[in-house]
């Protein structure tokens, strides 16, 4: 087999096997965006601390994928009216519960902050080494 082709094949296989940069490993399982908070607790245990807040989000288009990320979510949205340049328009408003979970796995691993919106994991941030 051609050495260049062998090298290219090895790089391709390594890229397919590697977990995404936004993923976290707990107990041998990959924690990735879209998972529920109960799935994360099942694999990673309880976090070191949790911060919770709520915010209102508005959109002119109720079917906007950035506004309605998980359409099967029980928490729907309410229609609201707003006035722009003298005309009345209909839009959507929903309240999103945001939770930030901080995991400290000790001094040999990086700390992780997991951000959930309505109990769905949307972002993973890595910090420095734990304590």
Q: What is the pLDDT of residue 2?
A: 76
Question: Using one digit for the tens of pLDDT, what is the confidence trace for 58-106?
Answer: 877 776 666 665 555 555 667 777 777 888 877 888 888 999 999 999 9
Q: What is the pLDDT of residue 19?
A: 45
- Predicted confidence (pLDDT) at residue 16 exceeds the cutoff of 60: no
Distance CA 57, CA 59 (A): 7
* Mean pLDDT score across all residues of the chain: 81
In whole angstroms, what separates CA 128 from the centre of its chain? 20
Q: What is the pLDDT of residue 56?
A: 87
Question: Using one digit for the tens of pLDDT, what is the confidence trace for 23-70?
Answer: 789 988 999 999 999 999 999 999 999 999 999 888 777 766 666 655
Q: What is the pLDDT of residue 14?
A: 55
- Taking alpha carbons only, the member of 66, 103, 4 closest to residue 77 is 66
Residue linked to tokens 């000790």: 106
- Taking alpha carbons only, the member of 85, 121, 111, 100 closest to residue 50 is 100
Q: What is the pLDDT of residue 65?
A: 66
Which distant-in-sequence residues (6+ apart) come within 8 Å of 78 by Cβ?
Answer: 92, 93, 94
Q: What is the pLDDT of residue 98?
A: 95
């Amino acid at each position: 087999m051609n050495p260049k082709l062998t090298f290219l094949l090895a790089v391709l296989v390594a890229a397919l096997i590697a977990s995404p940069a936004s993923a976290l490993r707990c107990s041998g399982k990959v924690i990735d965006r879209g998972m529920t908070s109960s799935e994360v607790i099942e694999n990673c245990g309880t976090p070191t601390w949790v911060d919770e807040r709520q915010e209102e989000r508005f959109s002119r288009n109720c079917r906007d994928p950035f506004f309605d990320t998980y359409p099967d979510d029980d928490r729907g949205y309410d229609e609201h009216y707003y006035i722009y340049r003298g005309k009345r328009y209909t839009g959507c408003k929903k309240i999103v519960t945001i939770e930030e979970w901080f995991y400290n796995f000790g001094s040999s691993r990086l700390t992780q902050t997991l951000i959930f919106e309505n109990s769905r994991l949307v972002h993973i941030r890595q910090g420095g080494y734990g304590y």
